[in-house]
Structure 1
Amino acid sequence: MRSGRSTRGRTALMRATALAGALQVLLPNPAAARLTQMELARVAVAPPPDARAPLDLAFTEADGERAVTLAAVAGGRPVLLLPVDYTCGNVCDPMLSLSAAALEATGLVAGRDYGFVLVGLDPRDGAAAARRMLAADLGAAPSPVRPRALVGTAAAVDTLTRALGYGYVPDPGTDSIAHPAAAILLTPEGRVARILSPLALNGRDLRLALVEAGEGRTGSLGDRLALLCYGFDAARGIYTPLVRRILAVAGVATVLGIGLLVLLLARAGRVRRA
């Protein structure tokens, strides 16, 4: 029963995060879009219970154009996964640059403490399109935080997005894709740990999220102690101090303890008088 409540709570938390307004939906040009309201309603992030990425899925890495699996890319580390449209003309570019900046601000080391992965949603976009996006947003020079950009077949992309509960809709009229602006944080085993807004990430919160998703394999002892005093605010998509809550609980426990002590002393006095 406890594990069931935990799973339901974790799922509710992720869905609340996805629906709280922190995750913007990237839509095609409204003047040319032909998507119906019913189609747009499918554009959302709603991971099923215990959602996890199939780590045996094969993709092609843009740099070097070699075949890799998600397991090889993850390498036993927590992974920040960004589903993107490599030819997106809306917010995919700032999604990438802001996520890279937040990851650099964590102080963690890419490739050692975490993985940073892009997956193209449009199977028609090949490795060249992914490399153009990386060069435009992050520059051609080597960077301490450079994602591994993957392209895949329609079947591989569909399998991954279905497993993660990530809904998107292609718009043939504008040759673009309506999709959520969401970063999916995976544990080393591929389980969905958090749904984050890549447009509102900061180094502190992202570090704590990576440490939490790493399940003891990432970060320092101080980070793990900090998680005892911080909690994830699903509505705001950030970690907030729980000190007030802890103090409130401690205060109630103190009052109850004093009340119990007074009651025991009163009973002891009546026994002695008798």
Structure 2
Amino acid sequence: MFWEKLGAQLPLDSPLIDEAGGAVSLLDVTTQTPTLLVLGYYRCQKLCSVLRREIFETLGKSNLVAGRDYNLVFLSVDPKETPADAREAKAETLTGFSAPGAQSGWRFLTAREHESAAIAQAVGFDYAYDGKSLAHPLGIAVLTTRGVVSTYLFGLGVDTEAIQRALQRAASNEISAAASPVMLLCFNFDAMSGRYSLDIVKMLRIVSGGFAFVGAAFILRALRRERLS
């Protein structure tokens, strides 16, 4: 899952490779405007691809202009993926989705394992790679123009208002906590089947914990009323 590291400074000198095979650094792609940083891998056809489509659709419906109001940076943490994978992903994306400035403001990057792992660690992106599949959390790290973690947008269902609000805060160098990503705890990655599945035990723990909290609050309120009467 994501371990929130609000205010953390990313390693801006980290060498990366863009979709054209050119050398860039994190400094080149994140410090002109606030940045939406998404970590994962391009060949993922599960929830990772769902999140990407949601982001594309949401940005396409907004009045935000990539390169002026924000940068969108996808970074693969799969060491086996290449600039060709990034180039293919970007081409497919621009064919299916349109947003002002997307051609230059949406970046699809790869990196050597050491560099991508260092960036993932800096933003608290905890993942596991077994040589075939990658288990990873869902979310967006929102960065200031100084390459500092401003906030997070967790899970699915990211809407235009949430993205605009997060980018405005990042543009002002504000640091703000994200909402608790409860539903992310309900999805487990099954390395054997290569699928995400709903963990019923965790779901029951969450629900029962919620009922226990509500019950305790009700009892405390009743006791206070009794003392005052």
**Both structures adopt the same fold (TM-score exceeding 0.5):** yes
- Counterpart mapping for 1:88-237 below 5 A: 88-139=44-95, 143-144=99-100, 145=102, 147-172=106-131, 175-197=132-154, 199-215=156-172, 234-235=179-180
Residue 123 of structure 1 and its aligned partner are, at CA, apart by: 1.5
SS of the residue aligned with 1:47? coil
**TM (normalized to structure 1)?**
0.59
Partner of 1:76: 32
The amino acid that maps onto 1:56 is: D
Unaligned regions of 5+ residues in structure 2, if any? 183-229
Change (3 A) 1:233 1:92: closer
SS of the residue aligned with 2:60? helix
Structure 1 residues 120-140: Cα deviation after superposition (integer angstroms, max 9, x where no partner): 010110011122223334427
Change (3 A) 1:202 1:155: same
Change (3 A) 1:166 1:202: same
Structure 1 residues 82-135: Cα deviation after superposition (integer angstroms, max 9, x where no partner): 002111121222211211222233312100111100000101100111222233
Residue identity over aligned pairs, in percent, reads 29
The amino acid that maps onto 2:108 is: A
- Any runs of at least 4 consecutive aligned residues in structure 1 with deviations exceeding 3 A, and if so which? 135-138, 140-143
Is the CA contact 2:37–2:143 (under 8 Å) kept in the aligned structure 1? yes
The amino acid that maps onto 1:121 is: V
Is the CA contact 1:97–1:138 (under 8 Å) kept in the aligned structure 2? no
Structure 1 residues 195-220: Cα deviation after superposition (integer angstroms, max 9, x where no partner): 1135211111211110111108xxxx
Change (3 A) 1:80 1:141: closer
Residue 77 of structure 1 and its aligned partner are, at CA, apart by: 1.1
Partner of 2:214: none
Structure 1 residues 154-195: Cα deviation after superposition (integer angstroms, max 9, x where no partner): 1101111111111100023xx110000111111111111111
Distance 1:141 1:90 in 2: 19
Partner of 1:50: 7
Unaligned regions of 5+ residues in structure 1, if any? 1-43, 217-230, 238-274
Distance 2:6 2:178 in 1: 19
Distance 1:139 1:167 in 2: 31
Partner of 1:32: none
Change (3 A) 1:169 1:55: same
**TM (normalized to structure 2)?**
0.70
Is the CA contact 1:99–1:199 (under 8 Å) kept in the aligned structure 2? no
